[in-house]
């Protein structure tokens, strides 16, 4: 794997460490952490800092009813979630989202495909398959898009993104990602709002493709 040069921003790692990051972005961050030693170390530093803050915080005694409720929850059996290991180019967090099965691709046209993993009021996260040399239509963003490369690479107005690299795109960025020569570019992308396509046809098909 090529050296990772585009990392998860520190404030996003901090939100992930505190559990306040929404589910779609959390999946992308968890996947990046499984690939990037540098960001994993930064994430662990945030966890240690959070633990130190909790240790310094004052404590209060639990009321009788609250204590009883907490103890009851502790006595409730915990059903372990199924664990999924890496499969090919897909790290464990992605395989967990896929429930251990291969992606079910749906065509977006011109060889581009997608597989939606989750979608709710917080946003959506999907796998994107882009053939070499193919461009994603020129677009902007109505919110935040966090994209992680799992295979291949792409280039856009901000630079080049290889395996393990993460791109953060906000409302100020309009770009046209193009997959480079070599294996198809497969990315994990999370958004919290629909993209803002400039061409008529992508805008027309946008509600159908849920992107």
- Compute the distance between CA of residue 28 and CA of residue 123 in angstroms, rounded to an integer: 12
pLDDT over threshold 60, residue 62 = no
- Per-residue pLDDT tens digits for 164-186: 999 999 888 888 999 999 999 99
pLDDT of residue 56: 55
Please check whether residue 85 lies inside any domain of the structure: no
The reply to whether 84 falls in a domain is no
Using the predicted structure, report yes or no on whether residue 69 has a pLDDT greater than 70. no
User: pLDDT higher for 109 or 4?
Assistant: 4
DSSP codes joined into one string, 69-93 = HHHHHHHSPP-PPPP---BTTB-HH
Strand partners, 197: 139
Tell me the pLDDT tens digit for each residue of 135-157.
988 878 788 999 999 999 999 99
Indicate the average pLDDT of the chain: 84
Nearest to 149 by CA among 128, 163, 134, 135: 163
Quick check: is 205 in a domain? yes
The string of pLDDT tens digits covering residues 104-147 is 999 988 899 999 999 887 889 999 999 999 998 887 878 899 99
- Going from the C-alpha of 1 to that of each of 151, 164, 193, the distances in angstroms are 9, 8, 31
Q: Please list, in sequence order, all residues whose beta carbon lies within 8 angstroms of the beta carbon of residue 11, skipping any fewer than 6 positions away.
A: none
| Within-domain flag for 13 | yes
Domain span at 106: 1-79+91-211
Q: Facing residues of 155 across strands?
A: 160, 178
Q: Are residues 163 and 182 in contact, defined by beta-carbon separation less than 8 angstroms?
A: no
Instruction: Please report the pLDDT score of residue 207 as a whole number.
Output: 65
User: What pLDDT does residue 33 have?
Assistant: 96
Nearest one of 159, 144, 150 to 25, comparing CA atoms? 144
The predicted model gives 63-72 an average pLDDT of 52
- Residue 38 has what pLDDT? 95
The number of folded domains in the chain is: 1
Residue 12, domain member (yes or no): yes
- Residue 181: the pLDDT is 97
In a domain, 32, yes or no: yes
User: How confident is the model at residue 22, as a pLDDT?
Assistant: 93
Give the CATH number for residue 202: 2.60.120.10
Is residue 86 a part of any domain in this protein?
no
Asked whether residue 192 is domain-assigned, the answer is: yes
Burial class (CB in 10 A: 0-12, 13-18, 19+), 78: exposed
Beta-bridge partner residues of 109:
112
> Could you tell me the pTM of the whole model?
0.80
The tokens for 4 are 């990772």
Would you state the pLDDT for residue 202?
63
């Amino acid at each position: 794997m090529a050296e990772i040069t585009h990392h998860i921003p520190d404030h996003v790692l901090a939100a992930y460490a505190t559990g306040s990051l929404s589910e779609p972005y959390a999946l992308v961050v968890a996947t990046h952490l499984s690939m990037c030693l540098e960001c994993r170390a930064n994430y662990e530093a945030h966890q240690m800092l959070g633990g130190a803050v909790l240790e310094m915080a004052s404590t209060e005694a639990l009321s009788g009813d609250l204590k009883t409720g907490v103890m009851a929850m502790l006595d409730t059996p915990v059903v372990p979630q199924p664990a999924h290991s890496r499969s090919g180019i897909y790290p464990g967090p992605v395989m967990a989202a896929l429930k251990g099965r291969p992606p079910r691709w749906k065509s977006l046209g011109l060889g581009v495909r997608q597989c939606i993993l989750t979608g709710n009021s917080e946003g959506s996260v999907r796998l994107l398959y882009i053939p070499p040399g193919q461009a994603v239509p020129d677009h902007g963003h109505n919110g935040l898009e966090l994209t992680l490369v799992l295979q291949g690479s792409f280039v856009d107005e901000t630079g080049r993104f290889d395996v393990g690299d993460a791109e953060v795109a906000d409302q100020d960025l309009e770009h046209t990602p193009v997959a480079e020569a070599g294996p198809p570019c497969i990315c994990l992308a999370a958004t919290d709002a629909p993209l803002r396509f400039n061409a008529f046809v992508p805008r027309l098909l946008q509600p159908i493709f849920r992107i």
